[in-house]
Amino acid sequence: MAYEVKDWKAPGCSLILKTDKLSDRETFSAEINEKYGEGGGLNANYRTVEAMAVVANILGCVNGFNYSEHFVFKTSGLDEIVLDFRSQEERDAAERTIREYQIKKATDPCPDCGKQLVHQEGILSCRSCGYQSAPC
Ligand SMILES: [Zn+2]
């Protein structure tokens, strides 16, 4: 990392997550670029924000974690975001939740039409038929 960011509550409780495994921004960015020209760096910022929104929603739904109570956004790097947790236990629980989400994201087909589902801010939706799952 180019610069050091201070630990939030306890040292060593940060979690690094890849934004491309959390955000479906690429799909939309491709459409936006086609219609309006290159988004470039702006798309990278959107991806960071969307990935953070996705993580906050999932951790809220699954773990009951609240932003600024259990975790905070620490910093972002190239295609990654770094979160800081209050404790090692909470960090590890969050890592398990996000890993399960990423496995699910890659495999779940739509129950209505069988097409690949996409995650949008913690909700599974089908871009083909409009199916949407409950948030958790
Ligand atoms: Zn569908």
CB pairs under 8 A, 24+ apart, for 116-125?
118/24, 118/27, 119/22, 119/24, 119/54, 120/24, 121/50, 121/53, 121/54, 121/57, 122/54, 122/57, 122/58, 122/61
Per-residue pLDDT of the chain (136 residues; tens, 9 = 90+): 456 778 999 999 999 999 888 876 666 677 767 776 766 666 678 888 889 998 998 999 899 999 999 999 999 888 899 999 999 999 999 999 998 887 776 667 898 999 988 777 667 889 999 998 876 6
Q: 115 C-alpha to center of ligand 1: Å? A: 5
103 CA distance to ligand 1 middle (Å): 19
From ligand 1's centre to the CA of 11, what distance in Å? 44
Give residue 3's pLDDT. Answer: 65
Quote the ligand 1 centre to 27 CA distance (angstroms): 17
Ligand 1 center–CA 111 separation, angstroms: 7
pTM for this predicted structure:
0.74
d(CA 4, ligand 1 centre) in Å: 44
Question: Could you tell me which of 86, 79, 84 has the C-alpha nearest to residue 22?
Answer: 79
Cα(22) to centroid(ligand 1), Å: 20
Burial-class residue 2 by CB neighbours within 10 Å (0-12, 13-18, 19+): exposed
116 CA to centre of ligand 1 in angstroms: 8
Determine the distance separating the centroid of ligand 1 and the alpha carbon of 102, expressed in angstroms.
19
